[in-house]
Amino acid sequence: MLHSQTHLRTRPIQAGHLRAFEAVARHLNFRLAAEEMALTQSAVSRQIQALEDEVGAPLFLRHTRAVELTAAGALLLQAVAQALPRIDTAVRQIRQSAGRRHVTVTTFASFASMWLIPRLEAFQREFPDIDIRIEASDTMLDLEVADVDLAVRYAPVARVPTGARRLFGESVTVMASPWLLKAGPALRRPADVLQYTLIESGDAYAPHLAWLSWHRWLEANDLAKQQPKRWLTLNYAYQMVQAALTGQGLVLARPPLVADALARGELVELLPQTRLHSPLAYWLMLAPRSAARPEVKAFADWVLAQAVATRQVIGEGDDPDLVNDLD
């Protein structure tokens, strides 16, 4: 008997009775829980008793006219109340997507918010029956096993897999709103930026982001020991660009991510001869198991066409030596 109890109390519990437990715990009433679940009160009571046997402790104190959670019941409810809605949401998504065409894309947050999402409406007008799911994360996924269809990342050519397609290069350059320039001092040489507020990244000192920083740009232009009028430090690339768009200072922006603002004249590039180029580039990669699906190919073709338009705006031509064939 001791062996049986030990076995019961260490194995994972069965999930079938958890919904009855949650209903009783929420109502603190077996009758109301039974009515909600369209079961008899005795059936709900049996499910709770079976769950208590599995857990190895009473979950409710049963009074004559009331039900009260025990400490063990309160602890279990805390977990169940979080888990059941998540399970229901996942099942609902699966049911909604069953039989529908969909494409899942992973990319980093700044690319998603500044380049991909603003263009998605055009794709969805052309392909209204394809659902798009974007997972914005800096985590590199293994496309052989991950539940995604495409990835957009930036990396040097030596680190991208065969079959990746180059979208455009990576660089940073001084940009500002034309409103700011009309009211501010002339900007003709690198030292002139010191008369303005410089909008800097909060991650500027991280090793992998240091090349994006004003400190590197100032050093490259023999201004390392100089300080600007003031600094404005923000956490995210889209925040930095938004601050520049509203005339709050100069930003070192990545041209591909602000191509639309450049095309509309909302930002202008200054001192183009000081643009800092990177060995990194933006790449489109397809998951091997997804590449043959028509909806994935349609989305990949659309991304590549959008990349051509972006290259035209930022003045970058194709680089055949860095382009692999997807087909």
158-209 tens-digit pLDDT: 889 889 999 999 899 999 999 999 989 999 999 999 999 999 988 756 665 6
Distance CA 178, CA 171 (A): 21
Options 3.40.50.970, 1.10.101.10, 3.40.50.300, 3.40.190.290; CATH for 101-327 is 3.40.190.290
Average pLDDT over residues 103-117: 94
What is the C-alpha separation between 231 and 240, in angstroms, rounded?
Answer: 12
Topology of domain 2-97, CATH = Arc Repressor Mutant, subunit A (1.10.10)
What is the rounded CA–CA span in Å between residue 118 and residue 120? 6
CATH 1.10.10.10 domain residues, the chain: 2-97
Structure confidence at residue 154 as a pLDDT band (50, 70, 90): confident
Question: Would you put residue 271 in left (φ > 0), alpha (ψ -120 to 50) or beta?
Answer: left
What's the angle, vertex CA 93, arms to CA 81 and CA 17, rounded to 5?
A: 35
Percent of the chain with pLDDT over 90: 61
For the chain, residues classed under CATH 3.40.190.290 are 101-327
- For residue 162, give the 3-state DSSP assignment: coil
Residue 44 has pLDDT above 50, yes or no: yes
The answer for residues whose C-beta is within 8 angstroms of residue 136's C-beta and 6 or more apart is 106, 107, 108, 109, 112, 113
Q: What is the pLDDT of residues 48-74, one digit of tens each?
A: 999 999 899 999 999 888 899 999 999
Q: How many whole angstroms separate alpha carbon 47 and alpha carbon 18?
A: 9
pLDDT in tens, 214-242: 999 999 999 999 999 999 999 888 999 99
